[in-house]
Amino acid sequence: MVKAGIIGCGGIAQNRHIPEYAANPDAEIAGYCDWNRDRAKEMAAKYGGRVYESVDELLSDPTINAVSVCVANTQHAEITIRALKAGKHVLCEKPMAVSIGECEAMVQAAEESGKMLMIGQNQRMMKEHQRARALIREGAIGKVLTFRTAFGHQGPEHWSVMKNRTWFFDKAQAAMGAVADLGVHKTDLIQFLLDDYISEVTAVITTLDKKDPEGLPIGVDDNAVCVYRMRSGAIGTMTASWTYYGAAEENYTVIYGTEGVLHIYDRPDYTLYIQKPDGERIYYEMEKKLRPEVLSGSGVIDEFVSALTQNRESCISGKDVMMAMKAVFAGVESSRTGQTVRVL
């Protein structure tokens, strides 16, 4: 049985981690901690388990064997490493951490402790993405030449429990903005879909519009456009934005091969289809798009629990996600220097 401790009880914990542990028959929630004690109390009242006064108190409970780290970005590495050293398996939210040194230290702490480190890159668990990866592998669109992938919405103030006073806008707590919030999803995803790594990045990452509650520009980026070259030679763009001021978010990927074009979530009516050069369309999912990440389980907690129960490596290991983080940090450097940055 996985006995989980929840560190941070905000948006992601409330919408995914906590309900998904509660729904998993192989898991039980031991308790919660949050700087805002009321938030932890509310979760304990709703889902059971106790409230811990601090991260240390939670980590010293010997009945807890796994934790979810659901706090602001700049605390991911420190809390994850402490938890691993305390003998807990860790599911840490994305972005994995805010520097490559931190990512490496997390992976090393997992190796030294013999505990699992998994990262919440939930896009890998979406069934359209898993099917698309298999189709590309089978050669359904021939050799991949180019791609475009994007994730954009109105901004994290519409999601965070802290609304427009959110830590997402504060450089000291978030380190990076849209590129770390949304860009890491699509960066990790393109490597996952193509079963390849990004070798080179040219990027513009900037703050165009978003203001804090005082009306000042936020401390982090609100837009990122990155050109990625893969090791295979394929090239494409990754766009992340917090300034898509329409109601619906954009969250799509299109991959262009020598024998067709693969579309994922780029139309409201079909989630996955291939357009062949002769005009034929092959639909793989006929159901309407239902914002799968929001309305259904993310699959991340089930994967964490199942990997622990089966004593196997998770399919979103810290070691693998670190390869996507390298590309994200290369994008930040490219934007700062105006140069193309080599990753691998």
Q: Which is nearer to ligand NAD, 135 or 324 (CB)?
A: 324
Instruction: For the beta carbon of residue 198, count every other beta carbon within 10 angstroms.
Output: 25
Q: Which is nearer to ligand NAD, 200 or 249 (CB)?
A: 249
Position of minimal CB gap to ligand NAD: 10
Concatenated DSSP letters of 201-225: EEEEEE--S-B-TTSSBPSS-SEEE
Q: Peptide bond preceding 95: is omega within 30 degrees of 0, i.e. cis?
A: yes
Interaction site with ligand NAD (CB under 6 A): 7-13, 33-36, 39, 55, 70-73, 75, 93-94, 120, 122, 159-162, 166-167, 181
Q: Which is nearer to ligand NAD, 33 or 203 (CB)?
A: 33
E strands, 35-194, in order: 50-51, 66-69, 89-92, 117-119, 144-152
CB of 123 to ligand NAD, least distance (A): 8
User: Which residues are registered as beta bridge partners of 2?
Assistant: 27
CB of 9 to ligand NAD, least distance (A): 5
CB of 49 to ligand NAD, least distance (A): 15
**CB contact at 8 A, 15 and 26:** no
CA distance 239 to 216: 24
Query: Per the structure block, which two tokens stand in for 268?
Result: 């409201």
Q: Which is nearer to ligand NAD, 39 or 263 (CB)?
A: 39
| DSSP state at residue 317 | B
Q: Where are the alpha helices (DSSP H) in 62-183?
A: 76-85, 100-113, 127-138, 171-174, 178
CB of 298 to ligand NAD, least distance (A): 7
CB of 233 to ligand NAD, least distance (A): 30
Query: Per the structure block, which two tokens stand in for 265?
Result: 């979530």
Q: Which is nearer to ligand NAD, 122 or 207 (CB)?
A: 122
| DSSP state at residue 45 | H
Q: Which is nearer to ligand NAD, 32 or 228 (CB)?
A: 32
Q: Which is nearer to ligand NAD, 234 or 238 (CB)?
A: 238
Comparing C-alpha atoms, which of 266, 20, 280 is closest to residue 128?
A: 266
Q: Which is nearer to ligand NAD, 160 or 241 (CB)?
A: 160
CB of 88 to ligand NAD, least distance (A): 15
CA distance 112 to 87: 10
CB of 125 to ligand NAD, least distance (A): 10
CB of 241 to ligand NAD, least distance (A): 15
Query: Element (H or E) spanning 309, and its range?
Result: helix 300-309
**CB contact at 8 A, 18 and 31:** no
CA distance 292 to 301: 15
Query: Per the structure block, which two tokens stand in for 206?
Result: 């900037």
Q: Which is nearer to ligand NAD, 110 or 175 (CB)?
A: 175
Strand 223-230, strand 198-206: pairing: antiparallel
Residue at 21: amino acid letter:
Y
CB of 166 to ligand NAD, least distance (A): 5
